[in-house]
Amino acid sequence: MNANAQRAYFRAKGEETGCLAYRARTHRLFAELEPSLTVTEQNLAEHVRYILRSNIFDVAELERLRCEAVPSVVVDSNDDGTVAQELELEHMSTLEVAIVETRSTLLENRPRLPRIALRKRNRAVVRALNPMLVTYLEASRDLCETDSILFGAALAACRIIGAKVSAAGRATGQNSAIPAWRRTIEERIAKARALIGRMICFRSGNNRPRIVRTVRMAFAGTNVSLSQPDITQKLTECIDDLKQRIAAWGRRIRRYTERSTRFNQNRLFQSDQKRLYESLERPMVSGTGAAPNQADTIEFWRGLWSEPVNHSEGPWTEVVASQCASMTPMDPVIITPIVAEAVRRAPNWKSPGLDGLHHYWLKGFVVFMACVFGGDTLMELRQALQLAETERKGGMSPHISPFTRIRDIGGLLNAAGFTLQTVDVEALTIWYPSAWHLMRDVRTLGESNAALNRPLHLDRDVQFAAAAIYDEMYGKDFPEKNSRGVPATFQIINFLGWKPDPSQPKPLEKGTGEVSLKDLHKIDEIIKDTNKVKLSEEDMK
């Protein structure tokens, strides 16, 4: 057994470049050599260390076992790259299994990824997995699939490194076991209360043998006899002393509990802020009365907002409308440097989102994904507010936070040093009952104007005018639902970029081109000239 353990150890260390995850390889090789023995990775590793420290084998014997174990690992001119290929195949197999598991697992059932130490061997594993991800990410159809691929890669890296990954489900319940110190104090309080009860019974004249024996044991060693005249006073003093002890023990429990709560909250804040905030939230309180009738509710709001109102349209409104026709809106504020700084300073191990993927893996796998609101988001509300404020105030100012323009995304990615950039834009239209509901949602989302020099309040008459303009310009009736609504456009920009890597395709150097762009009008002649452009048979077809 000792010889086979050393053979497995030497072979695992010899095949492993960089000494990564050799314990798992040692255990697998030892199981092949000794199929009748069942040991764990930890026990086998400790036994190998014991053999090396105890000098069970001399130097010559160890060298012989090493040569027997790793003859094929010695790389010569005819076997160059064998070790690296075997290691790469093993990593690819682990990555494939992890990605398949992640794709078939719901977000809430994903395992909780541990923190990875910032060591050279861990970074080497991440760098080794980077080129393997290109094939999977090129075939990705959407961001959800890309996220599952990255999570699978992170899971594979943890398994290769040997980090402990929890089982399915990230939500770990709090331990309900009572600590030993609290159980001890609670037992003291229970015994003191029982003793107080029996002393009160004895003071009131109950002379049962059990009660008398308990009271006599309580006064043992105090030179107090139960037959002395002032026994009632002694009982009262002893009862008061026990009550004070119970109060002190209770305060000790509260003090210890508060200290433990603060300690656990501080530790949870460092590891998972999201769970801390969820634990601090108050439970939702729902009403116990009968729910309002849906038809009455719809009729109430319809009668309040959908009734036509005749406004006194003065001639000055036409003048204002003609003046606003040639007015160009203010350009959105460029927030590219702010976003770039936020991305750069994102902590590695802060609590992840719903997908369970930390910032460390997004940085380590050299691909950056983001999803932001585009510049055309809420364009209807912007126009309505600008027209209403110009009409009422004679000028306008922004009341919604500026959003990133599409042309700024490329500059943002270039400033951050990303290559192979991909940008995708989609527009979502959401219908609201009125502009009031939309403005309430915008305020709840925190997307009201965040500029420093801004008007803090929007007058009520401007709000009413904006709601009327919004409904007049974009409102639509829905006869099938017997309702009316206004649209709100949300432009979503999805983009990703890769960190520079030697495995990425690079453009040709200047001066290596065979055809000039100015000769594009002669494309047919250039194609026929096979000396300049070499076409394959498929291209010729």
Report the run of H or E that residue 498 belongs to, with start and end.
Answer: strand 483-498
The residues, any chain, with a CB within 8 Å of residue 181's CB and separated by 6 or more, are 256
- Indicate the pTM of the whole model: 0.37
Q: What are residue 219's phi and psi, to 5 degrees?
A: -95, 10
pLDDT score recorded for residue 249: 93
433, 355, 462, 344: which is closest to 110 by C-alpha?
A: 355
Say which residue the tokens 């038809």 belong to.
295
Please report the DSSP string for 290-351 in residue order.
Answer: PPPPHHHHHHHHHHHHSS-------HHHHHHHHHHHTPPPPPPPP-HHHHHHHHHT--SSSP
pLDDT (tens digit, 0 to 9) for every residue of the chain, 541 residues total?
A: 788 888 888 877 764 444 445 677 788 888 888 888 888 888 888 888 888 777 788 777 777 777 777 654 343 444 445 556 777 788 888 888 888 888 888 887 888 888 888 888 888 888 888 878 877 877 777 778 888 888 999 999 998 888 888 775 554 444 557 888 888 999 999 999 999 999 999 888 888 888 888 888 888 888 888 888 888 888 899 999 999 999 999 999 999 999 988 988 888 888 788 788 888 876 655 566 677 777 887 777 777 666 676 766 677 777 877 887 777 776 766 665 665 566 567 787 777 777 777 777 766 776 677 788 888 888 888 888 888 888 887 777 777 877 888 888 888 888 877 877 888 888 889 889 888 888 888 888 777 766 666 666 778 888 888 888 888 888 888 888 888 889 999 898 888 777 776 666 676 677 666 777 777 777 777 666 655 555 556 555 5
- Find tokens 């290929």 and name the residue: 85
Q: Where are the domains of the chain?
A: 2-69, 180-271, 329-498
Q: What is the secondary structure of 195-258 as a DSSP string?
A: HHHHHHHHHTT---HHHHHHHHHHTTTTT--TTSTTHHHHHHHHHHHHHHHHHHHHHHHHHHHH
Rounded distance, CA 248 to CA 254, Å?
Answer: 10
Question: Which amino acid is residue 78, in one-letter code?
Answer: N
> What does the alpha-carbon distance between residue 350 and residue 271 come to, in Å, rounded to a whole number?
6
Distance CA 76, CA 71 (A): 11
44's CB contacts (< 8 A; 6+ apart) are 5, 8, 23, 26, 27, 30
pLDDT value for 18: 41
Burial zone of 415 (CB within 10 Å; 0-12 exposed, 13-18 middle, 19+ buried): middle
Helical packing angle, 2-15 and 41-54, nearest 10°: 100
Contacts of 300 (CB under 8 A, 6+ apart): none
| Whole-number pLDDT of residue 73 | 38
Q: What pLDDT is stored for residue 187 in this prediction?
A: 93
Q: How many other C-beta atoms are found inside a 10 Å radius of the C-beta of residue 493? A: 22
